[in-house]
Chain A
Amino acid sequence: MNKLVIAGREFNSRLFIGTGKFGANSVMRQAAEAAHCELVTVALRRVDLRRGAPEDPLISHLDPEKVLIVPNTSGARNAEEAIRIARIARAGGGFDWVKLEVTPDHNHLLPDPIETLKAAETLVKDGFNVLPYINADPVLARRLEEVGTVAVMPLGAPIGTNRGLRMRDMIEIIIEQARVPVVVDAGLGMPSHAAEAIEMGADAVLVNTAIATAADPVRMASAFALAVQAAELACDAGAREESRTAQASSPLTGFLWEEGEAEG
């Protein structure tokens, strides 16, 4: 596979990690390191920018030399709030990448497509690198690409459910159509789910709950990283397409080419 590039920036790892839900910031850092992760998302609602971003307890655990910190707009219920939060993140912390989350539904945290598109349009014009979190909607993915987002992030399953690629068919269409990187976000519960996404052709995956709430988050982060690498390697190795029928290794017509004993 070609190296992953988003908005001109190269990433050596296709595994991105969300920083919520960890039992301690130190564990979060170790997990990110174990996964050789180069992009983490951070909920701005958790960050205290008043003393400057580097002083914040969460941000201070991350090394900006090694990892790109992308604030998310978690908690925003409409475009206006998301835009405001992104601008505050830039003004207060110098962040110009933003993971756009507009989730008016507090229970399933499902993204509002209309408000997400509106916010994306404005934030792109503002000069942000926008990574929008969306339902697995191929038309919406195209609309977002048109307004200039640097990637699209369809959900694999409802967030936090660990249920894997439930939206598989729609994500396949998104991948097939996309001209920007596709990052499968939300719902990936096991390393095999992440591998499956990469094998399908996703450019990267973002995982939080499955790692943060594992009994040993650091080892689980390694497991996800290995799965993602395995899938990448398999793609490079030229995996064959699956088939609905068995392909016999001794086909029916084999005898025609054999130097057999002719009868009679």
Chain B
Amino acid sequence: MRDEDGRLSGAKSASDGTERLDQSFATVLRDWPVDRVRELIDSRTDADVECALRSPHFAPDCLAALLSPAAFGHLERMAQASARLTRQRFGRVIQFYVPLYVSNYCINSCLYCGFNCRNTVPRQALSVEDAVREAHFLSSEGFQHLLLVAGEDPVNVPVAYFEQLVSALHDRFASINIEIYPMDVDDYARLVNAGIDSLTLYQETYDPELYAQVHPTGPKRDFRFRLEGVERGARAGVTFLGIGSLLGLGDWRVESFYVGLHARYLQQRCWRQHVSVSFPRIQPAAGAFEPPCPVSDADFAQIICALRLQLPDAGLVLSTRESARLRDNLLPMGITRLSAGSRTTPGGYSEESDAEGQFEVQDHRSLADVMNSVRSMGFDPVCKDWDASYHA
């Protein structure tokens, strides 16, 4: 809501100065404690799954049914329905993006992440000039949707850094996305003015207790500030919102339920924004974090189908964390966006970098190779599906 001066209202500061929204998904989450979600999922039966498969509307019960153990026997049917729905809503088009890591310094100590500040690994932060050079290389490769990624590194890559970098790249890319630390509305607005249109912010886990365990120190400990990040971004004028839960941390059924609920909430409250969901699954990283709740490939497929069937219009994103074989096979089921040729180390595109990557890339194919593979499956690989001039 904007007040008479056109300022964004509905945001206030907590005692420590952090911005809090009056109304947000945090309120919804209070009604859905983990135990309630787990019980709802576990009590779903075959009949509930049948019912969910027939229902064209979102309902927490249906989402729970499609994510439940009872749905496992219906996976092929779910996949077929999910594929049909995706073709109807998105056609035979797959959009491509590429991540650009600008810094792996980080002041957080997330147990699962290669950038954990307690890991003694080679660190690197790109200067604006170096980051622009990397981006130009990616642009010459054919990429037009760019995702800027960084650890929480307020020293090397503060908001002003991204402001400068995005301004420098705005003319060269159709769309610029950021996957960095959450900010307050004013800072997001600065980046929107500079030229971002998309914001990706994974909650990692929607279970506050687990969240506290895996984020022992650093500003990321603030569960709610992160949770409300995409809504602050929307208030600041970001068009595309991306959410996700880090698969492998908590029970995937419970986490995916929360992701679906969050996406649905955003679609209703931020109706001018487009919502997409990513499925980052924990891969080996420095510090050798073993995922406490591993997600199998079959589980992975069930998550994609369940979310597609309940959220027909959500973008579903698959990164190079997954293998070429799995990506090719999951693609027709409901995926709408892929990355390709990714390097997860800062400076990794234009030079051999010693710096630590955020995760191990599993699909090493080039953009051209992935595009060819997509074509051979009867899909149109699209590198441009937005235009910087929308927000000139």
Contact = CB atoms under 8 A, between A and B. Distances in A.
A209 interface: yes
Interface in A99-124: 104-108
A85 interface: yes
Interface string B46-76: 0000000000000000000000000000000
Contacts of A45: 174, 384-387, 390
A85 B389 contact: yes
B197 to A, nearest CB: 10
A160 interface: yes
Contact of A106 (B273, B379, B385): B273
Nearest to B374: A23
Interface residues of B, number: 30
B382 interface: yes
Nearest to B391: A81
A46 B380 CA distance: 12
Interface in B76-92: 87-92
Contacts, number: 78
Nearest to A82: B390
A88 B391 CA distance: 13
B93 interface: yes
B392 A209 contact: no
A105 B271 contact: yes
A20 interface: yes
A88 B389 contact: yes
A25 interface: yes
Interface in B223-275: 239, 267, 271-275
Given A45-B390, A85-B389, A104 B272 contact: yes
B91 A21 contact: yes
Contacts of B379: 23
Contacts of B313: 106-108
A212 interface: yes
Contact of A84 (B89, B93, B378, B389): B389
Given A21-B91, A105-B271, A46 B389 contact: no
B384 A46 contact: yes
A66 B391 CA distance: 34
A139 interface: no
Contacts of B271: 104-107
Contacts of A24: 92, 375, 378, 380
A162 B85 CA distance: 12
A75 interface: yes
Interface in B357-392: 375, 378-380, 382, 384-387, 389-392
25 contacts: A20-B91, A20-B93, A21-B90, A23-B379, A24-B92, A24-B380, A44-B387, A45-B385, A45-B387, A46-B382, A46-B384, A47-B384, A48-B144, A48-B174, A48-B384, A77-B239, A84-B390, A84-B392, A85-B387, A88-B389, A106-B273, A162-B88, A212-B91, A213-B87, A213-B88
Given A45-B174, A104-B272, 7 more contacts: A22-B93, A23-B379, A45-B385, A85-B390, A88-B389, A106-B271, A213-B91
